[in-house]
Structures are given as C-alpha cells and as structure tokens.
Amino acid sequence: MRVINTRFNLKYDNVDEYGFMRPENFDYERYEKFMSSYLVILVNRSKKWDKLMKKGKRLQRGLVLKRYVKKGIPSSYRAQVWMKISGANELQIHQESDLYNTRLNSVLDSDVVQAIRTDLPRTFPDNIYFIPLEGSQEQLYRILFAYAADNKNVGYCQGLNYIAGLLLLVTKDEEISFWLLKVLVDNILPDYYSRKMTGLMIDIEVFARLTKSKMPDLYRHVKSLNIPWSLLIMKWFVCLYAEVFPTETVLRIWDCLFYEHSPILFKVGITLINYFRKTLLGCDNFTSFIEVFKKMPLDIFVLDCHYFMKRVNSENKSITNALLQKLRKEIKSEKKNYELNQLP
C-alpha cells in the first residue's frame, strides 16, 4: 500500500504513520531534520512510560503523571492512557455494560443520519484508511451514530467527524473512540456542540479577553481591522486543532486535553499567536492578516511538536481551569440580558 518516497530518497514515505498522505509540497528534508531529534525523545519517553505502566499503578493523578503527559504519551499507550486520565474508563464502568451496542441499535432522526452521511466522504479524504471501502468510513459512521443517539441534545455537530475520525485512527478501536468522544463532549468541553453552541461562543470570548490581557497591542490591531475572533479561532476550538495542525502536534495537545481539560486549548492558541505577534501586527489590512493567520499552523514552529508543547506549557501557567471558570462566569452574567448570538 505504501509508496516509498523515491523523489527525495529519504526514509520517510509519502503517507504518515496515521495514514495521512503528505501534501505535494511537503518539506521532507526539514521534516527529517526534526524527526531525527524527535525520534530520540520518543525512544526515551517510551522507556519511561514502559516503567510507569509496568509498575501497575493506576496512573494516579499527580506531578509525575502530569509531567509525563505534558512530555507526550507514546502512541502505543495512547488509547489506554487517554481512557484512564480522561475519566472515560470510570464513565464506562458506571454505565450499562454494552452502551455502545445499545446505542447502535437505536433509532435516529433522518436529518441527523443525513448530516452524518453528508460529512463522511469529506472526512480526511487524504487519509488512506478513509478511502471509501477501506472500512474506516463505516466505523466512523457508527461512532457518530452511536454518540448522536446517546446525547440527543447534541446529536451530530460538524467537526465531531474530525475528532472521532482522529480518535479512530489513533485507537484503532470503534468502541474506545466512542467513549473518548463521549467524555470529551459530555464532560471536558462545556456545551460546545449543542444546538446553540453557547459554551463555544463564550470560550471564544474568553480567548479574546485573554489575548487582550496578554497582547493588548495585538488585540487592538484585530479590533481596528474589524476581524471577529470567531472568524479566526472557531475552527481551532470546534475541531480541537484537528484538521488545523499537523497530526502529531494535535495528539500532543490531546494528551494534555484529556488530562487537564480546557486550559491547553487556550494555551496553544495564545502561544501560537504570540509567536507570530510582530508579523501579525505588520499586516495592515483584513485580507493580509487573515492570510498570515491561516498559515501559522503550518509553520515549522508547530510541526516541531516537542518544542512547541514545551513553549505552550511553560509560557502560560496562569491559564488555569479556575481562571477560565471565572472568565466564563463573568461573560455569562454580562451577557445575561443580551443576545448571546452577538458574541463575540
């Protein structure tokens, strides 16, 4: 199935380890340079995780586990560790034993089925496992169907296809993907995907306020160009950076997301914008600003996920769940008598 890339005669083929075709203009040389150092880190982290997992400890929350998660969970342990640190395991234990199959046998509104079906062929068409008849499309359909049946308030929201799709590629297990999707949408992200998307809009406003306090010049610049924050960052938050960032970077973000919840989403965005702050300030019109903004996730700064996550975690320690809760509460009460649709 895989074609070795002979054009550059390098050791990386044109399909990555999760099945994504590399883009035509992919910079193999730059990538090889990054991977040569990242592989050493991966091997090193792998050994440490082997030890941690062998101890048979129940991955207790604490400074050690937190540090391990921040430095990246090895791909071979991701499914198992994500299930534990996210609380999905707990959730599963306290539910009917075969919730997934029960949900698969429910009846769903035809509009919801139609919406899921519409998005299937356009979920990762550049991934070899999502080519029609390769099986993943049908698995993804079942995960989304089961979740929609499980949480009828949410049903299906566009964007969940990317999240569930990537969960499936990483865990290679439908049911685990279902539980992880469930814990993300039901517990970790506050009201992002429901029919009014209220929580998402509040968090976009929270992000704008954090930018205002950390980079007031940039915040003013965005305002002067009349750019709504939702135009800039909505996809980041809806897709949790999937379909925006390189895959390995997204998974490193999700490692933290399952452990510490929302703060990581804000830290990532703020770090990225801060890194490009001067370039962005130099964009003197709407279009050029947006063009630069859209290109940021493709920069080597983001591809080099280990260094990127180090920066993300060290630069934004002040962004905590407590701070986010405080800001969310403020915004909610300010907008109480005001149409939430006006946000932001």
Instruction: Candidates 19, 119, 222, 273: give the one binding another protein (CB under 8 A).
Output: 119
174 binds another protein (CB under 8 A): no
Residues in region 74-103 near another protein by CB under 8 A = none
| CB-nearer residue toward another protein: 40 or 231 | 231
Residues in region 218-257 near another protein by CB under 8 A = 228, 230-231, 234-235, 238-239, 243
Could you tell me if 228 and 344 are in contact, meaning their C-beta atoms sit under 8 angstroms apart?
Answer: yes
121 binds another protein (CB under 8 A): yes
118 binds another protein (CB under 8 A): yes
Q: Which listed range, 120-128, 163-171, 248-256, 309-317, lies at the site for another protein (CB under 8 A)?
A: 120-128
The CA distance from 88 to 90, in Å, is 5
Q: How far apart are CB 228 and another protein at their closest, in Å? A: 7
CB-based burial label for 55 (10 Å; 0-12, 13-18, 19+):
exposed
Phi, psi dihedral angles at 245 (to 5 degrees): -100, 165
Instruction: Candidates 32, 101, 125, 325: give the one binding another protein (CB under 8 A).
Output: 125
Residue with tokens 């399909």: 15
| CB-nearer residue toward another protein: 72 or 269 | 269
8's CB contacts (< 8 A; 6+ apart) are 28, 29
Whole-Å CA distances, 116 to 89, 136, 180, 238, 341: 26, 14, 18, 16, 25
Residues in region 287-306 near another protein by CB under 8 A = 287, 290
The CA distance from 81 to 83, in Å, is 5
Residue with tokens 């080597």: 300
The CA distance from 72 to 67, in Å, is 9
| CB-nearer residue toward another protein: 38 or 124 | 124
Which phi-psi region, left, alpha or beta, contains residue 77 (left: φ > 0; alpha: ψ -120 to 50)? Answer: alpha
CA neighbours within 13 Å on the CB side: how many for 65?
17
137 binds another protein (CB under 8 A): no
CB-based burial label for 206 (10 Å; 0-12, 13-18, 19+):
buried
Size of residue set near another protein by CB under 8 A = 30
Q: Which listed range, 44-52, 156-164, 169-177, 252-260, lies at the site for another protein (CB under 8 A)?
A: 156-164
336 binds another protein (CB under 8 A): no
Q: Which listed range, 139-147, 284-292, 313-321, 328-336, lies at the site for another protein (CB under 8 A)?
A: 284-292
The CA distance from 69 to 92, in Å, is 22
340 binds another protein (CB under 8 A): yes
DSSP 342: G
Residues linked to residue 235 through DSSP beta bridges, in sequence order:
none
Instruction: Candidates 201, 253, 296, 303: give the one binding another protein (CB under 8 A).
Output: 201
Instruction: Candidates 19, 72, 159, 246: give the one binding another protein (CB under 8 A).
Output: 159
196 binds another protein (CB under 8 A): yes
341 binds another protein (CB under 8 A): yes
Residue with tokens 């539910």: 95
342 binds another protein (CB under 8 A): yes
Using alpha carbons, select from 86, 69, 330, 331 the residue that is nearest to residue 185.
Answer: 86
| CB-nearer residue toward another protein: 127 or 313 | 127
| Residues forming the site for another protein (CB under 8 A) | 115, 118-119, 121-122, 125, 157-159, 193-197, 201, 228, 230-231, 234-235, 238-239, 243, 285-287, 290, 340-342
